[in-house]
Structure 1
Amino acid sequence: MLKIKGIDISRAQEQFDFTAAVSAGVKFVIIRAGIRTDEDTYFRRNIEQCRKLGIDFGCYWYVTATDTAELDRQINACVKVIGDEKPSYPVFCDMEEQRQIDNLTSKERTDMALEFCDRLNKAGLPSGVYANPAWLESYYQKERIVGKRDIWLAHWTESPDYPSRYDYGQKMWQWGIDSIAGKDVDGDICFVDYPTITAKWYKENCGDKPEKPVNLFKKGDSVRVKRGARFTNGVEPYSYVYDTVYTVQQVSASGKETLIGIGSVPTGWLYTENLYKAESDEITQKFAVGDKVKVNYGAKTYNGGSLALFVYTNVYEVMQAGSGDREDYIVIGQGGQVTAAVKAKDLKKV
């Protein structure tokens, strides 16, 4: 029987050492994409590390819903977070909340798990159900799942050498706690060649012509953020983000997500549709004494000194525009008092 060594991780492992995992013989990783409607903090980082080291990966979403409206929101969030990723292992539905046991019938719980799987399939993602024997025997209608959906069985024997006594035709088995580079992590065994299976599934269900990436920007481009936009994890930016010129640091394979930052320091991922190019003439615009301006976040003084954080949130008046042959030398202040001398490219008219 085929036995492939893997692990599953979430933000609980934080800065997990994937290189150590490869050295330990790990061939696949199941990554938590999110919980409820929230993206897992380390989801993007974990996928990036898998790609960098050539590790196959799948995902799971921790579903807490107890009604159809909340389930709909959580499934939508899962689909949005995974986006155009095409994991070589399925996306699994993980339901294990006590309130789901207390407030739902076996039929309702099963309906929800199957709805999750069906919706993921329609979104172009292979799916499965994560469950322990108690859920399969007592909380799900087993006959609607076993043999009909891919099962990732959670039954801890505390060693991959001691197989589970339960046979649900599971494709994967979570056997207990493994230790990699000093960190506890769930250990898994896969009994099938998922990369081959999912490659066939994608071809049969998603067509032979994948959507062409929409690469509106490339690394190094100067961009601004559209007002009202949020980061891809749902966090609302501080107001100064909308008034700042950023540099594109990375673009996702699909082109639909873009990582922006200042210098070499990343700020966050945004959907590409929420960015627009900062034209060169916008960055080097001319100023006159009396103009009202704001300072771009992260800017420094003309000579490279640091500015206080409050400077980026205030409106200033141009008190001097140019100095000799330095046309980009701008002095700003408030109420007749000088605040700083900065470069023209670091200002925005208001």
Structure 2
Amino acid sequence: MQEKLIDVSTWNGNIDWDKVYKSGVRYAMIRSSFGVENPNQIDNKFVRNIENAIKVGIKCGIYHYSYARSVAEAKKEADFCLKTIKNYKIDLPVAFDIEDSSQTNLGKDALTSIVIAFCDRIKSAGYMPMLYCNPSWINSYLHKDKLIGKYDLWLAHWGVSSPAFKCTIWQYSDSGIVSG
């Protein structure tokens, strides 16, 4: 079943969630946080976005942008994400967004362990974990055989007629616009 889903963060400005809902969007992935715990690392539109999206009936999931360079840091990032989202109804997965260039030199073993550490911490807290990345990351930086099938996948694969991997969410564009 294909449904329209948007992903949003501070970069999308002040969203009119009523207009978004009226445009037919029923699902949103909202950036909660990035990096390790710090008040400045909570997306400054997170509370506004999640409260207003829920208010109009949009089902929400979360994504956390990672800078983790170790399993210990990934666990701290997961704890920070969990603390940030604990007071909200989360209907969709909690995604681990791993794509930062500062991580590319860590190697497949370390990066795969980082993903597993974050996702397992999210799962143990009762949420559905998800990996967000693009085909290049899956092929070049991660042990895909240890991740695909273990966690849901949100694949950023733009400009193609179908995604390179079986995924739960396919981000087919980086430039979509909906009313609101």
| TM norm structure 2 | 0.91
Match of 1:50 in 2: 53
Q: Which amino acid aligns with 2:17?
A: F
Q: In the alignment, is the contact (CA less than 8 A) between 1:86 and 1:125 conserved in 2?
A: no
Q: In the alignment, is the contact (CA less than 8 A) between 1:59 and 1:90 conserved in 2?
A: yes
> Aligned partners of 1:169 and 1:86: how far apart in 2?
27
Q: Which amino acid aligns with 1:41?
A: N
Match of 2:65 in 1: 62
Match of 1:99 in 2: 102
> Aligned partners of 2:163 and 2:42: how far apart in 1?
34
1:132 to 120, 131, 134: 134
Q: In the alignment, is the contact (CA less than 8 A) between 1:117 and 1:127 conserved in 2?
A: yes
Match of 2:112 in 1: 110
Cα gap change, 1:131 to 1:143, in 2 (>3 Å)? same
Match of 1:175 in 2: 172
Q: In the alignment, is the contact (CA less than 8 A) between 1:147 and 1:169 conserved in 2?
A: no
> Aligned partners of 2:100 and 2:113: how far apart in 1?
16
> Aligned partners of 2:123 and 2:77: how far apart in 1?
15
Unaligned runs of 5+ in 2: none
For 1:156-195, list aligned pairs within 5 A: 156-157=158-159, 163-166=161-164, 168-176=165-173, 177-181=175-179
> Aligned partners of 1:69 and 1:122: how far apart in 2?
16
Q: In the alignment, is the contact (CA less than 8 A) between 1:19 and 1:53 conserved in 2?
A: yes
> Aligned partners of 1:141 and 1:26: how far apart in 2?
34
Is the aligned partner of 1:13 residue 2:12? Answer: yes
> Aligned partners of 2:172 and 2:16: how far apart in 1?
21
Q: How many residues align?
A: 175
Give the 3-state SS of the residue equivalent to 1:64 in structure 2: coil
Q: Which amino acid aligns with 2:91?
A: S
| TM norm structure 1 | 0.48
Give the 3-state SS of the residue equivalent to 2:19 in structure 1: helix
For 1:122-271, list aligned pairs within 5 A: 122-157=124-159, 163-166=161-164, 168-176=165-173, 177-181=175-179
Give the 3-state SS of the residue equivalent to 1:12 in structure 2: helix
Cα offset, 1:21, TM superposition: 1.4
1:296-323 CA-to-partner distances (Å, cap 9, x unmatched) read: xxxxxxxxxxxxxxxxxxxxxxxxxxxx
Give the 3-state SS of the residue equivalent to 1:178 in structure 2: coil
Q: In the alignment, is the contact (CA less than 8 A) between 2:4 and 2:27 conserved in 1?
A: yes
> Aligned partners of 1:84 and 1:124: how far apart in 2?
14
Q: Which amino acid aligns with 1:110?
A: T
Q: Alignment identity in percent? A: 34
> Aligned partners of 2:150 and 2:18: how far apart in 1?
36
**CA RMSD, 1 decimal:** 1.5
> Aligned partners of 1:86 and 1:117: how far apart in 2?
19
> Aligned partners of 1:73 and 1:92: how far apart in 2?
15
Match of 1:22 in 2: 21
Cα gap change, 1:127 to 1:134, in 2 (>3 Å)? same
Q: Which structure has the bigger radius of gyration? A: 1
Cα offset, 1:123, TM superposition: 1.3
Cα offset, 1:125, TM superposition: 1.3
Q: In the alignment, is the contact (CA less than 8 A) between 1:56 and 1:87 conserved in 2?
A: yes
- The structure richer in strand per residue is 1
Cα gap change, 1:25 to 1:122, in 2 (>3 Å)? same
> Aligned partners of 2:19 and 2:12: how far apart in 1?
13
- The structure richer in helix per residue is 2
After the TM superposition, list the runs of 4 or more consecutive aligned residues in structure 1 that deviate by more than 6 angstroms. Answer: none
Cα offset, 1:165, TM superposition: 4.4
Match of 1:323 in 2: none
Cα offset, 1:71, TM superposition: 2.3
> Aligned partners of 1:34 and 1:173: how far apart in 2?
21
Unaligned runs of 5+ in 1: 183-350
Cα offset, 1:25, TM superposition: 1.4
Match of 1:72 in 2: 75
